[in-house]
Structure 1
């Protein structure tokens, strides 16, 4: 059987993304196949949408509790993302070809300690990367990859390097990683998808497969494809898929993302250097970004120091036999010339320049659950969109009516913001954290810290089991807890929450339960806790536009 063109990549690789597009321009394929759950193919239109701004992620989640999820993130410089864009721009069919997400979730198992064979020459991938780190010096395998792959000049160079890297890693680890059985199943399924495309009439030589470098050898092997019988025996769970905004911090390996890199924002600079066809653009952008951050935060950095850092980074690269500096060279040069030899002086500048705070975005209504739509609609209507950032920001609310505006929405905006944020708290959605009031603060004031993270998106998905809107889900959650309450203190706490959430129907519902429980309650501590919760309601009076009588 003839094999398609298999382009092995690193999942966050600007050089891979650029050279892949060059290869696609040269080969003009009639079909593009991309590693990723096959049911994600239905989202290709939204992924490549004009208003979609990466980083984004496709999330699959089980429909029943407990919610389990898998995430597939994309940056602008992800080769998979650029393959999808190229296919759309050229009217070429594109498909994801890995196991469906329901199967991935069906075969998910708890992470356990990996058991290795007795052969000391055989290693897991973690062992190989640690060994590579020890031999690559201070920059570790990140620098090794950047020098040898991200600085490659042609698609052929990149493909050859990725193939060698993937084959060597595979030869050292095959059979030893705990997910090896899953790898074999995935590759058999992907071979099945490749064979299916050929059976449909797509010529292998006009088909390009985009896959992690590790899988290239497995997909090009003569091992049999998965049969219909084997496909039918795969476990699967019912799940849904959605697109969600993502962030550079979550793409970073520092957040625990296994396929990440240490510096997603810096790699965005490398991507720009490819697009501008200026090999040194990332070098200058990185060092000037460090100097700009320092100056903006009160640290003196002269133009001469920036120039010295540029020259030093080039010299450090040349000492290692490289034509361009890698991130480790740029950072060392910045520390020496702008940090006066102390990394602590530029630590915040380095974090801003290497990781960044970029968060992706999606057009309203794209591939979200109704509750996610309601969340973002509330952010827009309550003027909270600027707080959709991974940088925590404080906001102070004045719950009184604003008499200096004309519309009712503006007059009670802060009060409605409070209702919304308290409802999210009830749903355990960690977008807002209520700060304790100081003794001198008035009862009409609230202080919150707001911070959006991808975990917020996952928590919203989990809350969809309770309702289609934030208000509906919060009401369902409180009704469940009220029915389970056996002590008046628990019911009184729910009464307090429903009052803070601005939900009069829940106040009435829980008051009725509270009265029934009070008839049989005699424990002093329970009564005291109840009185404390009720006193909160009384202290606010009618500021929350609810009858506290």
Structure 2
């Protein structure tokens, strides 16, 4: 098939003139792709030259393999710095992809002729002022295509023109996309006119370049010089029987006759970098401008449809839309499809367009199938107009060892990368799910964010995890970057964790890393991390850092339990950390300003939650931490008594339970006048929630704080600590009328000159309550103190309250709950028998189970 052309064929193509056949295209344009195929069929060249990096010539043959499914991209990265990388994306409807496939099918040599990636990546690094690869410009619709780089942005070094926008404006169009569709996409190739579109487009670009020169694309002068040299080399080998597929913007420059010496002079002294290249999967979403990897098209899904539809593209498109909306439970009938097609045709005729374009089809879908609503239309745009197609690359494509190990694990765990975001529920009691969890956690340690943890629905147990998965093309770069840490996922994650532990600055960073090592199950890295953690904890004297690190350690112990990993070393560090937090917290809370007090209040909350969690899920660890000693009395103590107790326990060692020791710390915090009010109030609240205050003690402490002898600002801060911070304090005031009365009486007695000072703090506190809680509090205050108690005594309750539990009304809820949960009477009776429950005790244990 690579022999000479028949005379008839050569005569047919004679109209294009002598020299190489220059096929100027719009990158990722289905009309250009169809025209390229027709031109190549008509000309049957001996070789095809394509705009792209020459280092990828060895990869062209992979495009014919069965496992190669576009969209895909050529990935080039610097060997020593994988983060310096660039992509050349290709879709099924890209003219370059069509040219590659045609050449492989006809056994014609195909070569890339753009500036080598070894210069492109080195050049970008040299120009970047911050040491990172300089961002490449976004690709203009029919102009030059530069490789896509992560975090690309528009360079401000020059104002660059959009050739299509200029041509569209000249033709009277306000939208370049519409002009391109009318002129190219909706234009069929008729008879022997295979070269007509390229000749006309080339002339138009020549006229533009006469006016605008390089159009602000100064680097293109170097690229075009290199392309001219490659075209000359191909002509020496194959004669003029050469086809060149490139951006239409380059056609005038390739036709221009220049001296070889002048072109070589432009290329002299270019920087170089050692690069590797491979194929990687790409997505339609990454072909769209909205993704940040702008490739010149807004609607890759629509263009893919135009390219693949054999006939009647509008009817087929409307059928796709109807199928999508039906899958979303919207009522769309065949009549809707027929009417939508008719409306699209009518709109195209009214607007003077040869065929309906995306604008007309979108308007028709909105009016007919979506009933004028943009909500389902947004779904159509996301799923069909843009699309979530993810390409595939054969296993024979070059890859770093880490990528091959990752692909092997993905196949074994049946965890296929997908472009569409999906939610994955994992039950860690199942081995396959546990391995999936370990893989995702290890990848996150390596900076490969394939999955992001999400909040589990319907379960708070540590045996369940929820992930949101979406595979993005740039993750291939992250895999290449992580390859420096090891050849397997386990080895790379272990080495990365050890290096991060050494480089970690704050103690909390090391504890977080220890938690992640447990989640990722890295037994070799955990001892290193724990040794560093113990050293940092011993040297760190900042109680705030210790309090911030302690909850992460407790969470790690909890995860270790459910995953069956050893946490003895972690428990020892947690014991020492808890001891230091308990001793150092009261002095650290003294004499703080407002911001520091608020931060320390958050630390107190975190430590309180960690202590409760530690005692709940790891009681044997609690015993090891605190020892076995008699619990302290559960009554209120004065500040001096509490301080004496904690000092005595500190000197004697951890004898009592960890919760009891923590309650002693809270009593100390609640009693010291030098501690800010927000911390004292929160300490009292935590003691009250844990049942450590005798009846009426909270009201007595609040009454002391709200007495006239306390500054209004300090009293307001105490109230914020007690009932603010999202701790459910509003419901406490609703159900404890005595506390509400104290707050009400204090607030009404605040002097006028001090009221303006405490008002912002109080508004911040009470505005955090639920609207229903605020409404109930307002109703209680309006009725006056004692109203609720007197109403209950007389049997006339305030709306929403009753003097006693209404058993009959409570029982009426049970049948509905059983129906919702799919339970029957036998299930509840069996559960009552198992838990020794009274069948008439009106509990919801059976239903809950």
Global fold match (TM > 0.5): yes
Kept in 2: contact 1:149–1:162 (CA 8 A)? no
Kept in 1: contact 2:53–2:113 (CA 8 A)? yes
Kept in 1: contact 2:82–2:477 (CA 8 A)? no
Correspondent of 1:244 among 270, 274, 280 = 280
CA distance in 2, matches of 1:347, 1:335: 10
1:163-174 to 2 correspondences below 5 Å: 163-174=202-213
1:244-283 to 2 correspondences below 5 Å: 244-273=280-309, 276=310, 278=311, 281-283=312-314
1:223 aligns with 2:258: yes
Whose strand proportion is higher, 1 or 2? 1
1:85 aligns with 2:87: no
1:367 aligns with 2:398: yes
1:113 Cα deviation (Å)? Answer: 1.8
CA distance in 2, matches of 1:189, 1:452: 36
Which deviates the most, 235-244 or 95-104? Answer: 235-244
Kept in 1: contact 2:519–2:559 (CA 8 A)? no
Q: Tell which structure's C-alpha radius of gyration is larger.
A: 2
CA distance in 1, matches of 2:505, 2:336: 69
CA distance in 2, matches of 1:504, 1:317: 66
Figure out how many residues of one structure are paired with residues of the other and give that number.
520
Kept in 2: contact 1:54–1:246 (CA 8 A)? yes
CA distance in 1, matches of 2:22, 2:508: 64
The aligned residue for residue 470 of structure 1 is 489
CA distance in 2, matches of 1:255, 1:331: 21
The aligned residue for residue 735 of structure 2 is none
Kept in 2: contact 1:397–1:415 (CA 8 A)? yes
The aligned residue for residue 391 of structure 1 is 420
Structure 1 stretches of at least 4 aligned residues deviating more than 6 Å after TM superposition: none
3-state secondary structure, aligned to 2:87: strand
1:513 aligns with 2:549: no
CA distance in 1, matches of 2:502, 2:281: 36
1:423 Cα deviation (Å)? Answer: 0.8
1:458-537 to 2 correspondences below 5 Å: 458-537=477-556
1:127 Cα deviation (Å)? Answer: 8.7
Correspondent of 1:413 among 429, 432, 436 = 432
CA distance in 2, matches of 1:22, 1:453: 34
Structure 1 residues 161 and 500, CA gap change in structure 2 (3 angstroms)? same
Deviations 1:303-323 (Å, cap 9, x if unpaired)? Answer: 233222212222222234333
Kept in 1: contact 2:209–2:215 (CA 8 A)? no
TM-score normalised to the size of structure 1?
Answer: 0.88
1:238 Cα deviation (Å)? Answer: 1.8
CA distance in 2, matches of 1:477, 1:60: 24
The aligned residue for residue 450 of structure 2 is 431
Structure 1 residues 487 and 102, CA gap change in structure 2 (3 angstroms)? same
The aligned residue for residue 224 of structure 2 is 187
Question: What's the C-alpha RMSD, in Å, of the aligned pairs?
Answer: 2.5
CA distance in 2, matches of 1:24, 1:61: 32
CA distance in 2, matches of 1:332, 1:165: 32
1:349 aligns with 2:380: yes
1:73 Cα deviation (Å)? Answer: 0.6
CA distance in 2, matches of 1:331, 1:518: 61
CA distance in 1, matches of 2:435, 2:172: 55
Structure 1 residues 326 and 440, CA gap change in structure 2 (3 angstroms)? closer
- Structure 2 unpaired stretches of 5+: 1-16, 128-133, 135-153, 569-849
Correspondent of 2:88 among 72, 83, 91 = 72
Deviations 1:275-312 (Å, cap 9, x if unpaired)? Answer: x3x3xx21111112222222222222232332222122
Structure 1 residues 392 and 136, CA gap change in structure 2 (3 angstroms)? farther
The aligned residue for residue 176 of structure 2 is 141
Correspondent of 1:113 among 151, 156, 159 = 156
Deviations 1:305-359 (Å, cap 9, x if unpaired)? Answer: 3222212222222234333222212212222222334444422123322111111
The aligned residue for residue 18 of structure 1 is 34
Deviations 1:113-150 (Å, cap 9, x if unpaired)? Answer: 2445xxxxxxx314972894697657x11111011011
Deviations 1:342-386 (Å, cap 9, x if unpaired)? Answer: 44442212332211111101122422222222222221111111x
CA distance in 1, matches of 2:325, 2:172: 30
